Structure 1
Amino acid sequence: MSAQRSEIWREKPGTWLLNIGLGATRYVGDLNERNNLAHLRLGTAINVAASYRYSPQLTLRTEAQLYYIRGTQKDTHLAYNNLSFHSINPDIWAGVQWDFWRADNRNHVIIPYALAGVGLTYLTPKTTYKGETISLAPLHTEGVTYNRVPVVIRYGLGVPIAATERFKFHLEGAYTHVFSDYVDDVSTVYPDRSTMQPITAALSDRRLEIGEPLNPTGAQRGNSTRRDGYFVLSARLILVLITPSQRNYRRMFGR
């Protein structure tokens, strides 16, 4: 009976799966340093995906995610500029998942996979100022209006760590490249503050808060040659919803 159930729920082409993940994020952009491992500025992410096993190695996948990221120039070589942000953003993407070997390959008990896809995210950069949380995008702190729904490309690797008949547990790491340099509301140069509203001017250049003189108009504020992005390392629960064998079993026995 156990062998029969295992065969019914075996993940063959035509199988549908539900994929739920919980993980840690790390933002990559102008307000952190890639190699500053002492100050990772970690956040969190939760996601849910629907997957369809198309072939023995190829799975189609679509996913929605809510992720929290943050960054600050504190404890970096640009600490004297005093800029910071945090945001809770949604994203969606669709793509493929490719197993390195077929599931019936007896030489590999654990079969890792690669994933890649394209989607969209919605940017909501905020900061804390005088004890209040303020949304940065509507203020135009660099004097420009930027696209808040940029395209993203996601790619990564995953590995199964445990499995039962219908449940699987994976560890997955992915990087999302955002086609925008304004995930953190920082990209180019300091604008002319004299034309701004007081709150915008105060958040455009925050050096006065730490006793430093303001930057001149046109001084470098960010690095526009490199787009922003974020890593997500997640633990994932995969539920096998329905397989071709299970569908045939239900037709035969009316269950």
Structure 2
Amino acid sequence: MSAGLGATRYAGDLNESGNLAHLRLGAAINGAITYRLSYRLSLRAEGQIYYIYGSQKDTRNFYNNLSFFSLNPDIWAGVQLDLWPIDHPTMGHAPYALLGAGLTYMRPRTTFEGKSYGLAELRTEGVSYNLFPPIIRYGMGMPVYSNNRIRFQIEGTYTHVLSDYLDDVSTVYVDRTTLTPLAAVLADRRAEIGWPLNRPGEQRGNSTRNDGYWVVSGRVVYVLSTPLYQNYRQKFGR
């Protein structure tokens, strides 16, 4: 059994991957159960709550003035593979890789005039999108301390969301007259910083790439005693 606490960084239309001066880090907390199938391969299932946010302020698209934040849950299951053989002298600090799939629940919101509004229900791009998209997660980790029962690990993962609406931004600006007054205001926020509004059909996001998020966390692992673990201890003295 394990639990983790870490920092998140959203990757999508309202962020720039190379903008290290404005990382806009969020936070995540998670818990997992891992079952060792063999001396290198384990099954892992995990649940997580993560906070992410993004803004076009201080980016090359600052004039569009869009932003969002979201507190979402996700679940996934997959495999974890130790990269070093079981008889390696430093097996207690062996790095591992993980790969799995699951679901997340997207709840993009934004703030306007001091109030928070859910964006999905406003249909800011004139579409209703799936709020429970599949996810694919992959990453690596490494123990930094290990004894017979307790381990401390550093782990980094990227979650690829099979949707481009994690941030409520994907395609083009739609005709404002087809939206509710509130949706029209939140779909195009140029006027708030003194810029003219976009015309219908102008680019709002990049629909060729789906969104995702990074998580770098510290994890505490407690090893439960099972017949397989006891056999492992007897065979390798660990």
Q: Which residue of 2 aligns with 1:60?
A: 43
Note the C-alpha offset of 1:109: 5.2
Structure 2 residue 187 is matched with structure 1 residue 186: no
Deviations 1:216-251 (A, max 9, x none): 000000000010000000000000122217879xxx
Note the C-alpha offset of 1:58: 0.2
Matches within 5 A, 1:106-125: 106=89, 108=91, 110-125=93-108
Distance 1:242 1:116, change over 3 A: same
Q: Which residue of 2 aligns with 1:72?
A: 55
Deviations 1:103-157 (A, max 9, x none): 3322655210000000000000000000001000000000000011000000000
Structure 2 residue 158 is matched with structure 1 residue 158: no
Q: Which residue of 1 aligns with 2:66?
A: 83
Contiguous gaps of at least 5 residues in structure 2: 232-238
Distance 1:245 1:84, change over 3 A: closer
Note the C-alpha offset of 1:165: 2.3
The whole-number CA distance in structure 1 between the counterparts of 2:169 and 2:228 is: 53
Matches within 5 A, 1:25-104: 25-104=8-87
Q: Which residue of 1 aligns with 2:221?
A: 238
Q: Which residue of 1 aligns with 2:234?
A: none
The TM-score normalised by the length of structure 2 is 0.94
Deviations 1:157-206 (A, max 9, x none): 00010012211000000000000000000000000101211100000000
Distance 1:55 1:189, change over 3 A: same
Note the C-alpha offset of 1:102: 2.8
Distance 1:68 1:235, change over 3 A: same
Q: Secondary structure at the match of 2:157?
A: strand
Letter in 2 for 1:94: A
Distance 1:243 1:104, change over 3 A: farther
Deviations 1:88-113 (A, max 9, x none): 00000000000012333226552100
The whole-number CA distance in structure 2 between the counterparts of 1:195 and 1:148 is: 22
Identity %: 61
Query: Which sits farther off after the overlay, 83-92 or 158-167?
Result: 158-167
Letter in 2 for 1:31: L
The whole-number CA distance in structure 2 between the counterparts of 1:40 and 1:237 is: 26
Contact 1:68 1:86 in 2 (8 A): yes
The whole-number CA distance in structure 2 between the counterparts of 1:176 and 1:47 is: 14
Greater Rg, structure 1 or structure 2? 1
Contact 1:120 1:152 in 2 (8 A): yes
Contiguous gaps of at least 5 residues in structure 1: 1-17, 249-255
Query: What is the Cα-based RMSD across aligned positions, in Å?
Result: 1.4
The whole-number CA distance in structure 1 between the counterparts of 2:82 and 2:229 is: 23
The whole-number CA distance in structure 2 between the counterparts of 1:230 and 1:172 is: 14
